[in-house]
Amino acid sequence: MSPQRRNADRGRMVRGDGGGSSVLPLDVDAVIGDPTTRIVVCCGSGGVGKTTTAAAIALRAAEQGRRVCVLTIDPARRLAQSMGLTELDNVPRPVEGVGGTGSLDAMMLDMKRTFDEVVEAHASADKARTILDNPFYQALSSSFAGTQEYMAMEKLGQLYAEQGGSGGGSRWDLIVVDTPPSRSALDFLDAPERLSSLLDGRFIKLLLAPARGPARLFSAGFGIVTSALNKVLGAQVLTDVQTFIAAFDTLFGGFRQRAEATYALLQAPGTAFCVVAVPEPDAMREATYFVDRLSGEKMPLAGLVVNRVTEVAGELDADGAEVAARQVEDADDETSARVAGLLRVHASLGRVREREDRLRRRFAAAHPSVPTIAVPALPTDVHDLDGLRTIGSLLTRPA
């Protein structure tokens, strides 16, 4: 039984930990403990703790015996710092200090290096050198819009291939992917379609016409178009583009095929998407977008992680704390003033928690079948393995 189905079978709507909110609890341990789960993708808007969540899930899985590789596509260096690594690059590097019988490797996507590797692997040596030295390719592989998302698909496909299919005797049996911030985190889902549109576009066909077609294609009309492009782009730029496309033409089909295979992999039962948010209006709206998009794309959704939830000690609610503060202030002494101040802080935190609970209940009402876990805000930032272990335990605490 898949971890997604087990999450759903824990009961329809059960009482959660959100001060009266009713949510279906997310069982992260069930997801990572299932040997059929091969890929976990953490997605969400920027600044919601997605990188930390991915790292914590990866570490917890490793310490429970899985052989894990965590891939970050976020250019920030938080993942390396939290795992005690001086840097991350395009090569998986072992993380020291992992307990248990598993292992953990970490890496950060190097967009250009991944693109170079693909060219070197799928083109002859001479053609690869022609492509790699081409100025248009160098710009495309470094900064062209959409290249990062497509290369993320390539790298995920490479890592999965190293798993060796069923995972027996392979390097890893679980890959955890930390995606870019904001809605671009799901742009990699569009990579195959956008690539196909690019390769099948009229502009590409026009530029390839001299290399592919007979002499009759060098018509007056084509000459006019080329002259216009020369004026807009410059003769050298146009030449660089045409040279690149002519050299790259034989690789186009392979790119499309691999991207579509990875897309199918993301839809497979062995993949689990975790949407990450914080209890703020904008972030929860983004979480709704992610959940709806994943549902529309038939991607297997494990659930929602709501980070940095406000915790309030004791049973006294915000209204009660306000009333108590006014009563204590009537004593008119220094100690009473301090107590009243603390009660008002408690009341303020209570109001924040009430707003957060309303947001979470609203999401649960709109998405009753989406399992959710709330992770309380910590007093300090996570910067080491112990901090990641704390997050991992909070991700799996009982609802």
Identify the pLDDT of residue 81. Answer: 78
Per residue in 306-362, pLDDT tens? 999 998 887 788 787 787 778 877 776 778 778 888 888 888 888 899 999 999 999
Q: At residue 178, does pLDDT exceed 80?
A: yes
Residue with tokens 């993301």: 266
Q: What is the pLDDT of residue 195?
A: 62
What domains appear along the chain, each with residue ranges and CATH number? 3-316+349-395 (3.40.50.300)
Report d(CA 59, CA 68) in Å as an integer.
8
Say which residue, 235 or 382, is predicted with more confidence. 382
Of 64-78, 160-174, 199-213, 222-236, the poorest mean pLDDT is in: 222-236
Tell me, what's the pLDDT at 210? 53
Averaged over 200-208, what is the pLDDT?
Answer: 56
Q: Burial level of 143, CB count in 10 A (0-12/13-18/19+)?
A: exposed
How high is the pLDDT of residue 258? 81
Q: Regarding predicted confidence, which is higher, 340 or 91? A: 91
pLDDT tens string 329-341: 777 677 877 888 8
Q: Is the pLDDT of residue 29 over 60?
A: yes
C-alpha separations of 193 from 155, 201, 244, 251 in Å: 18, 12, 21, 16
For the stretch 238-295, pLDDT in tens is 677 777 777 776 777 777 788 788 888 999 999 999 999 999 999 999 999 999 999 9
pLDDT at 13 over 50: no
What CA–CA distances, in Å, run from 150 to 26, 119, 289, 328?
30, 14, 21, 62
Q: How confident is the model at residue 396 (pLDDT cuts 50, 70, 90)?
A: confident
- Chain length of the chain: 399
- Report whether pLDDT(212) > 60: no
Percentage of the chain surpassing pLDDT 90?
A: 35
Confidence grade of residue 302 (pLDDT, cut at 50, 70, 90): very high
Asked if pLDDT for residue 183 goes beyond 80, the answer is no
| Residue-level pLDDT at 215 | 42
pLDDT at 102 over 90: yes
Q: What is the mean pLDDT of the chain?
A: 79
> Distance between CA 399 and CA 178 in Å, rounded?
25
Q: How confident is the model at residue 17 (pLDDT cuts 50, 70, 90)?
A: very low
Q: Is-contact 109 51, C-beta < 8 A?
A: no
Residues 6+ apart with CB under 8 A from 262: 153, 154, 156, 157, 160, 192
Mean pLDDT of 227-241: 58
What is the bridge-based pairing of β-strands 14-18 and 21-23? antiparallel
Mean pLDDT over residues 50-79, rounded?
88
Q: What φ, ψ does residue 15 adopt, rounded to 5°?
A: -70, 125
pLDDT at position 144, please?
A: 66
Q: In 3D, which of 55, 10, 30, 31 has the Cα closest to residue 273?
A: 31
pLDDT of 142 over the 90 cut: no
pLDDT-wise least confident of 69-73, 83-87, 206-210, 273-277: 206-210
